[in-house]
Amino acid sequence: MTYLPAEWHQQAFVQLTWPHKDTDWAPVLADAIDCFCEIARQLSTCGQVLIVTQDTEQAQQDLRRHNICLCNIHFVSCPTNDTWARDHAFITCIDEQRHAVVLNDFQFNGWGLKFSAYHDNQINQAILPDIADLYKAYDVSVEYNNHLDFVFEGGSIESDGQGTLMVTSSCLLAPNRNNTLSKTDIEQYLKETFHAQRVLWIEHSWLAGDDTDGHIDTVARFCSPTSIAYVKCENPDDEHYEELQAMEQELQALRTADGQPYQLFPLPLPDPCYDADGKRLPATHANFLIANDAVLVPTYQQPEKDTRALTQLEQAFPYHRIIDIDCSVLILQHGSLHCSTMQYPKI
């Protein structure tokens, strides 16, 4: 039976899509590259890394300049619009019986036609042979599944690996994605595609400055089949307070597949961060990445909030290394650490 594994499933490699001067990173490119290099450094201690880049030589120079060993890093060249691998990369299922992975290629349209995505929507087909080669090392066969008639992004889905998916209504029902489909249609599609038994819909999810219409990976994350980390707003004067309080109540009411309440780990909403024009940015500690024996956690130069979030995630992941990475630059383009990565599972 094919299924979508949880993120804590053992991983073969993690994909990054590298920043370059023709992306929106241009005004802060050096800082963005510093951040991506640190992510690559930490990922290379957890397993293999696949870097998709317009210029392999430049990406290698960036990494060497940061004294990063390239021994666990693989490169593939193709044109790219942006760097959010979570949303344009394959979403990979496992078929253990056939010892195969199924690479699901969905339509990526720049989060509901907000941004140009012509190149990013073609990355998967361009790098398919390279991914198949990487999987050969694990004696795993690779199958390609074309879902280009369905608009879908990796940041919009969470899986517990046991048949439960978690999504947000604000994203999956947003305009310019799958307008002809009802909520019931989309739920049935997800169940069939990922062989899931149930879908948990979160009706309240919003962060100021978020371009994704409320991806689940910015607000609530499975930490195990029985636990969820989520963003909690404690300041009644904050614009997020009512919405995130409502989300917390939703999460408290959710039940596991066997009818038990989830163990909840609240992560403090970071203090407001703004861009040069005074617009609030979507800073969130929930945008962490589980990478084999480690959890990479975005921080925002806010010692008190960062420390509290790291402490909560230490409790949620007692058998993982918790690694903090300053992602203050990433939120300038309205994403963070998890948004910039995509894991590919082992079997």
91-137 confidence digits (pLDDT tens):
999 999 999 999 999 999 999 999 999 999 999 999 999 999 999 99
What residues does 231 pair with on adjacent strands? 267
Owner of token pair 């989300």: 247
pLDDT band at 1 (very low <50, low <70, confident <90, very high): confident
Strand, coil or helix: 52: strand
Q: Supply the pLDDT for residue 3.
A: 97
Q: What is the mean predicted confidence (pLDDT) over 184-191?
A: 98
Element (H, E) at 246: helix 241-253
Q: Is the pLDDT of residue 7 over 90?
A: yes
Q: What is the DSSP string of 136-188?
A: HTTT-EEEEEEEEEEE--GGG-EE-SSSEEEEEHHHHTSTTTSTT--HHHHHH
pLDDT band at 214 (very low <50, low <70, confident <90, very high): very high
pLDDT tens digits, 311-344: 999 999 999 999 999 999 999 999 999 999 999 9
Contact 247, 216 (CB under 8 A): no
Q: Quote the tokens at residue 43.
A: 């990922």
Q: What percent of the chain has a predicted confidence (pLDDT) above 70?
A: 100
pLDDT tens digits, 196-207: 999 999 999 999
Q: What is the architecture, at CATH level 2, of domain 2-345?
A: 5-stranded Propeller (3.75)
Q: What percent of the chain has a predicted confidence (pLDDT) above 90?
A: 99
Q: What is the mean predicted confidence (pLDDT) over 183-199?
A: 98
CA-to-CA distance for 8 and 27, rounded, in angstroms? 35
Q: What is the mean predicted confidence (pLDDT) over 43-61?
A: 97
Report which of 324, 302, 328, 329 is spatially closest to residue 313, judged by C-alpha positions.
324
Q: Residue 278 — left, alpha, or beta (φ > 0 → left; ψ -120 to 50 → alpha)?
A: left
Q: How far is CA 224 from CA 16, 20, 162, 219, 307, in A?
A: 24, 36, 10, 16, 22
CA-to-CA distance for 285 and 296, rounded, in angstroms? 10
Domain ranges within the chain, ordered by starting residue: 2-345
CA-to-CA distance for 220 and 228, rounded, in angstroms? 7
Q: Quote the tokens at residue 220.
A: 């609530």
User: Could you give the angle at the alpha carbon of 195 between the alpha carbons of 189 and 198, nearest 5°?
Assistant: 75
Q: What is the mean predicted confidence (pLDDT) over 158-165?
A: 98
CA-to-CA distance for 152 and 109, rounded, in angstroms? 9
Q: What is the mean predicted confidence (pLDDT) over 148-166?
A: 97
Report which of 152, 153, 151, 130 is spatially closest to residue 142, judged by C-alpha positions.
130
pLDDT tens digits, 246-301: 999 999 999 999 999 999 999 999 999 999 999 999 999 999 999 999 999 999 99
Q: What is the mean predicted confidence (pLDDT) over 22-45?
A: 97
Q: How far is CA 58 from CA 55, 75, 188, 293, in A?
A: 5, 11, 44, 30
The mean pLDDT value of the chain amounts to 97
pLDDT band at 42 (very low <50, low <70, confident <90, very high): very high
Half-sphere exposure at residue 221, Cβ-oriented, CA atoms within 13 angstroms: 28
The residues near 318 (Cβ < 8 Å, ≥ 6 apart) are none
